[in-house]
Every structure is written in structure tokens, then in C-alpha cells.
Homo-oligomer: A and B are copies of this chain.
Amino acid sequence: MKDVMRLPPELQPTNRRVEAFSDAVFAIAVTIMVLEIRVPDTLAFASDMAALEDFATLLAIYVLSFVVVGILWANHHYLVFTLPTSDRATIWLNNHVLFWVTMVPVVARFFGQHPTSPRATAAYAYVIMMCTFALTLLRRHAARVTENEVHRALHHRVFRRAWVAMALYAAAIPIAFMNIRISWALLLILPALFFLPVIRLQAAKDEVHRAMEHSRP
């Protein structure tokens, strides 16, 4: 990596296109899921509780997947922002993230149509775990190449949380075959954790300020 950084600037494109390509893949992954969500025709003029229940389940799993992809995108957004140039490692670690993001619609459909299947629940947990893992690999690269101590401190802070999330998603896989309700609970609670902003923001700020004091002595 260090060697790549020494190439002349005319061989170092910025991250603009990595961002544009990623934004498009995230946007398509989140949007093509709705192609599967059809309001059942039987609901147009009559009450069909079974059809309504299937539709509500599919919709709920779409909402969950939308939130998960939204969290991944928000993390990706801040992460790529800290990367100065798009070297070869960045591009392929990023493509690795995008690959797992495109798998989300595949498992969301399977899970949405078979919500009581332990295998479907496990497959869904596995793909979200791999998305988080791929993003963590990209973040490790970002933490290594950056020369900005504030960014590095933030990356290290997020690592800890990411490993906790991955461990819980990994746990949800075998748990799905033992007690599927606990597995569902994990899939629901993990994104919700992301939305506890106050504590995290305060902690992040303290850490950032500490890092800033260290880097500007």
C-alpha cells in the first residue's frame, strides 16, 4: 500500500467513481427488493387473512433489510470519506463489500417467503454478518493507509462494535436451528442498537477530542 501511495498523482484517481459505483449498487440492492413485494390480488376487494399475513411478513423483512442496507451505506459513506485515493486494494475490498450487499435481496426474498424456516433465518444472518465483515476489512485498510489520527481513532472505535455485531450475527446462525425466536430477536435488535445515538456520539466525541489533543501537541 505504502508503495502505491508513492506513485505520481497522475496515476492516482480519487474515490469519486468508487463512491458513485457503490452508491448505485447500494441503491439498486435496496430498490430491487420491492420488485418482490406484491400486494396480493385477493386483497383488492376481499379480506384474505392468510394473504395479508404473508404480505405483512414480506413487508416487515423488507423494512428490516432497508434499515440494514441503510446502516451499511451510512457506514460506507463515512468510511470512504476517510480514504484519500482509490488504490487497487480499496477497489477490491470495496467490490467485496458490494458483492455481499447484492446478496441481501437474495436472502431477504428467501427469508420473506419462508420466515419460519431455520435455514432461511440462518442464511439471512449469514449474509448480514458477511456484509459487516467485508466492511470491516475495508475499514482495516482505511485505518492502515490514513495519516489522519482523528479518522484512525474513529475507525478503531467502530472495530470493537463491528466485532460484537459480527459475533451476535454468527450466534444467530446456529440459534436459528435451536430456538428460531431468539434468532429473530437478534436480527431485530442488532440494527436497533445502531440507533442509540446519544451515548455513542458523546463517547465518540470524547475519543476524538483525546485523539486531537494527541495529534496536535
Contacts and interface: CB of A to CB of B under 8 A. Distances in A.
B154 A11 contact: yes
B66 A102 contact: yes
A114 B44 contact: yes
A32 interface: yes
A154 B8 CA distance: 13
Interface residues of A, number: 69
Interface string A24-51: 1111111110110111010111000000
Interface string A43-82: 1110000000000000000010010001001100110010
A29 B4 CA distance: 30
A17 interface: yes
A129 interface: no
Contact of A26 (B21, B106, B205): B21
Contacts of A7: 205, 208
Contacts of A19: 16-17, 20
A21 B21 contact: no
A23 B34 contact: no
Given A28-B32, A45-B114, A74-B92, 8 more contacts: A3-B201, A13-B77, A21-B26, A23-B24, A29-B34, A44-B110, A66-B99, A88-B197
Interface of A: 3-4, 7-8, 10-11, 13, 16-21, 23-32, 34-35, 37-39, 41, 43-45, 63, 66, 70, 73-74, 77-78, 81, 86, 88, 91-92, 95, 98-99, 102-103, 105-107, 109-110, 113-114, 117, 119-120, 123, 148, 150-151, 154, 197, 201, 205, 208, 212
